[in-house]
Structure 1
Amino acid sequence: MEIKLLTPADASAYWELRLEALQQSPEAFASSYEEAIQRPNPIEHVENNLRTEGNYTFGAFDQNKLVGVVTLVQESSLKLKHRANIFAMYVSPVTRGQGVGKALVTEAIRKAKTIEGIEKLNLSVVSTNEAAKKLYIQLGFKVFGVEEKALKVEDTYYDEDHMVLIL
């Protein structure tokens, strides 16, 4: 398993995995699969995101196949630059339980520690996703709030735990 920072050359592989994520775990993302497939020029959009300063997407590769991703984004406004957010965490079901998620989040934390000014990381996770919450807690994150009915997928509501790691 290799963890590396994605580049624009990885955009197609990222987009494929993102679509899988939106189909496999619709409750875990604010975006929907239906919205994603209607997006014009999605690969170009991903390429631009992967070039954006302060936006770091890490990929886990198993024999050159992208099987997991996580994105670290530093806040840009002056009063929030001490914060960064972890978004779009996903590990393909075929590689879950093998430490891929831990390796990805650990790499995001390591990167955050190298960026001058970042003092804390925030993330949100669906309250019922016990595996993800256990991982984040193991890595030092703490729940600081719960948003009730944060997401609605068809007729089902999902609460989200908001978590923080002080670096």
Structure 2
Amino acid sequence: MMIQNIQREQADDFWKLRLEALRLHPEAFGSSYEEQVRIPMDEVPLKINSQPDNYILGAFSEENDLMGMAGFRREQSMKVRHKGMIWGVYVSHEHRGLGIARKLMQEILRRGKEIEGLQQIQLTVVTSNHTAAELYKRLGFVTYGIEKDALIYQGQAYDEELMAYFLK
């Protein structure tokens, strides 16, 4: 398995996996399948960045199949540039249990330590997603709050656990 940045020329594979995540797990993401599926394919590559502080990691098989992904972006405003955010962590069902999410997260944390001035990396996880929350805790993330009714989808409310990894 290779962990590397998803490139704009891999937009088709990225978008297929992203839409799968949103369709199969609508409670786990702030974006919705219903809204994202309407985005024209020629706009998708524009969502893919490959800067040191704004990228989407992919986990690729030896055959170059995209098995999982996780996004990272650093806040840009002067007062919050010390923070980064992990978003869109997802591993396809057929590749779960192989440690892919852990490897993606470890690479983001490793890279985060190299970004000058970055002090913490935050993420949110739906409180019912115990597997993901436990992974994040094992990696060193700590909970700093719970947002009640953070997401509402088809009349169902979902709370989110707010977590941070402190680099300093």
Shorter-chain-normalised TM-score: which range?
over 0.9
Equivalent residue letter for 1:103: K
1:51, 1:132 → 2: CA distance?
A: 25
Question: Who is 1:55 aligned against?
Answer: 54
1:12, 1:107 → 2: CA distance?
A: 23
Equivalent residue letter for 2:155: D
1:7, 1:146 → 2: CA distance?
A: 34
1:118, 1:158 → 2: CA distance?
A: 30
Return the TM-score normalized by structure 2.
Answer: 0.94
Question: What is the deviation of 1:37?
Answer: 1.2
Question: What is the deviation of 1:45?
Answer: 3.1
1:10, 1:111 → 2: CA distance?
A: 22
Q: Which runs of 5 or more structure 1 residues have no equivalent in the other structure?
A: none
Tell me if structure 2 keeps the 8 A contact 1:49–1:55: no
Question: What is the deviation of 1:155?
Answer: 2.0
Equivalent residue letter for 1:49: K
2:160, 2:109 → 1: CA distance?
A: 21
Question: Who is 1:78 aligned against?
Answer: 78
Tell me if structure 1 keeps the 8 A contact 2:57–2:104: yes
**Deviation string, structure 1 residues 42-84 (Cα, Å, up to 9, x no partner):** x443322323643111001123110100011000001111100
The share of aligned pairs that are identical, in percent, is 39
Question: Who is 1:2 aligned against?
Answer: 2
The farther-off stretch of 103-112 and 46-55 is 46-55
Counterpart of 2:98 in 1: which secondary structure?
Answer: coil
- Which runs of at least 4 in structure 1 moved beyond 4 Å after TM superposition? none
Return the TM-score normalized by structure 1.
Answer: 0.94
Question: Who is 1:104 aligned against?
Answer: 104
